Amino acid sequence: MLSTLFLLLPVISPTLAWIPVQDWGSGNVTSSVGSLGECVCHVYLPDTTFPADRVQHMQQISKDLIQEVQIQMNKIKTYEIKLEIYLGELKKLLDRVTILGSSADDYIKLDFELLRIELREFESLVSQLKDAFNSSSPMFDSLYTEIRNMTLIVNTLESYDKSNLQVIRIEFVKLQKKLEECQKEQEFLKPDIGNCNHTGIMRLSKPMVSQLNSHLQTSYIYGGWGKDSKPAKGSESTYFYSGSSSTLTTQFYFYPDYKHLLLMSTSSSLDIPPSYRGYGNNYIVRGNSIYYQRYSPFSMGKYNLTSKLYDSRVIPTATTAFSYSYSNNQNMDFAADEKGLWVMYASEESKGKLVIAKIDEKGFGIENVWNTAAYKQMTGNAFMACGVMYATRSVDLNTEEIYYSFDTKSGEEKHLNIRFPKFQENYSSLDYNPTDQLLYMYSNGYYVSYHVRFNTA
């Protein structure tokens, strides 16, 4: 921006009299003599216009996305109800066909046109489910093919052939099984919260990327986010976030719900004083308290958001010599699940292998300890679910896998191969939350999460 000030000597502008020329910077002010002998000053002012229009545009896009997600969730609920209704109708239809197979006198009761109408309804339902889930799953394709085959059979069944009737009965059984498989697949989106009556994790969903961190800084590659795993009444929807360009832990932000997290609005913050600051990013919030790795002395740190009090406990065997493979200073990893509060670390005695310790939440001490066979420096991260520790490692740039588990109840360990896609190559934290059965990952500055499906078969 170029502003030209004409000063007719000896008159002096009252504005310029209050602002010394030397304070403007030598590179921003030049002067010359005009054709009439007047003094002409050229002042170059920087363009400091705040891009409010872009911020408003970004907020509007975020609101639109939230509304779209809500619409899609409502669709899923609607299709779930339809699926249950159609499955019940299909069972009734199967009973009718079974009765027909027992008596030739009942053949005339079979309304073929009704069968065709009902099959068209099934076909429409599958198409709607496929569009709603935006999925090209072989299960949907196979179910669609089965329905079309059934329609062809019904069209030829009017020849009153008992063998054909047996064929359609068999096909209805197949179709029923397909719909039941579809229903089970949909139940993946409906977690059985608090239930540990299963044999462990079966698979993870595709990564769900929310957005870049609340600072909108791609350099903030270290951090974590998530929800309170044991929230107080009224705080069930509260989210926390902390991020930095280093592994130093100095500040936390809290948002009343997911919408405010995305819009980066209505937040409260906590600044950790220097004497209680931490290192590492594997912190969690549980019972309205933050659990993190305290820097000095090296110990478990705790801050109670209700009482505003700090506390710490030293674990004598824990060491700073071993960290996860993706970043430094990840020495203590806090976790929470259906069974309580945990911390994982490595020690000289364990020769760098992960140690699981159960934390007494009331006394903030160690209740019990288990040694595992997972080398921490070969592990990307670890988390607890239903009292079982799961350790991850990199397969390639785009793929991670849960390769090891240790059950603290039975002492059983397993070597696993549960692969899941990564959003980016590295991540600094990974925590399971029992309130929604989601894995919360902080991946190079982005909020990422996964649905966890357990094997209940």
**What is the pLDDT at residue 114?**
62
Residue 68's pLDDT is 67
Using DSSP's 3-state secondary structure scheme, residue 277 falls into coil
Helix residue spans in 225-345 (DSSP H): 258-263
Does position 94 have pLDDT exceeding 70, yes or no?
A: no
Nearest C-alpha neighbor of 224 from the set 380, 452, 449, 428: 428
Q: Which tokens in the block code for residue 71? A: 């619409």
**What are 133-182's pLDDT values in tens digits?**
555 555 666 666 666 666 666 666 555 455 555 666 666 666 666 666 65
DSSP β-bridge partners for residue 126: none
Q: What is the pLDDT of residues 277-322, one digit of tens each?
A: 999 999 999 999 999 999 999 999 999 999 999 999 999 999 999 9
- Give the number of other Cβ atoms within 10 Å of residue 40's Cβ: 14
Question: How confident is the model at residue 39, as a pLDDT?
Answer: 74
Distance of CA 123 to the CA centre of its chain: 33
Which DSSP category does 203 fall into? E
Q: Which of 86, 92, 102 is nearest to 147 (CA)?
A: 86
Q: Tens digit of pLDDT for each residue in 312-339?
A: 999 999 999 999 999 999 999 999 999 9
113-144 pLDDT per residue, tens = 666 666 676 667 666 666 655 555 556 666 66
DSSP string, 341-379: EEEEEEBTTTTTEEEEEEEETTTTEEEEEEEEEEEGGG-
Is 80 exceeded by the pLDDT of residue 453? Answer: yes
Give the three-class secondary structure for 69.
helix
Residue 456: per-residue pLDDT: 84
Pairing mode of beta strands 289-294, 299-304: antiparallel
Vertex 202, ends 200 and 204: CA angle to 5°?
120
Amino acid at 10: P
Rounded CA-CA distance 206/15 in Å is: 62
Which domains occur in the chain, in start order? 2-44 (no CATH), 56-189 (1.20.120), 201-454 (2.120.10)
User: Up-side HSE of residue 118: CA atoms within 13 Å toward CB?
Assistant: 19
Look up residue 347 and give its two tokens.
């020690």
Compute the distance between CA of residue 309 and CA of residue 231 in angstroms, rounded to an integer.
18
Reported as a pLDDT band with limits 50, 70 and 90, residue 109 is very low
What's the Cα-to-Cα distance from 237 to each of 78, 267, 328, rounded to whole Å? Answer: 24, 13, 31
Q: Which of 343, 338, 328 is closest to 377 using CA atoms?
A: 328
How far is CA 312 from each of CA 188, 291, 359, rounded to the nearest angstrom? 39, 9, 12
Distance of CA 124 to the CA centre of its chain: 32
Question: Which of 394, 392, 349 is CA-nearest to residue 374?
Answer: 392
Average pLDDT of span 183-204: 78
From CA 334, how far away is CA 348, in angstroms rounded? 19
Could you give the count of Cα atoms lying within 13 Å of 449 in the half-sphere of its Cβ? 14
Q: What mean pLDDT comes out for the span 414-439?
A: 95
State the residue for tokens 């760098």.
Answer: 352
Q: Which residue has the higher pLDDT, 46 or 85?
A: 85
Q: Which of 336, 331, 337 is nearest to 319 (CA)?
A: 331
Q: What is the 3-state secondary structure (H, E, C) of 140-164?
A: HHHHHHHHHHHHHHHHHHCCCCHHH
The residue type of 140 is F
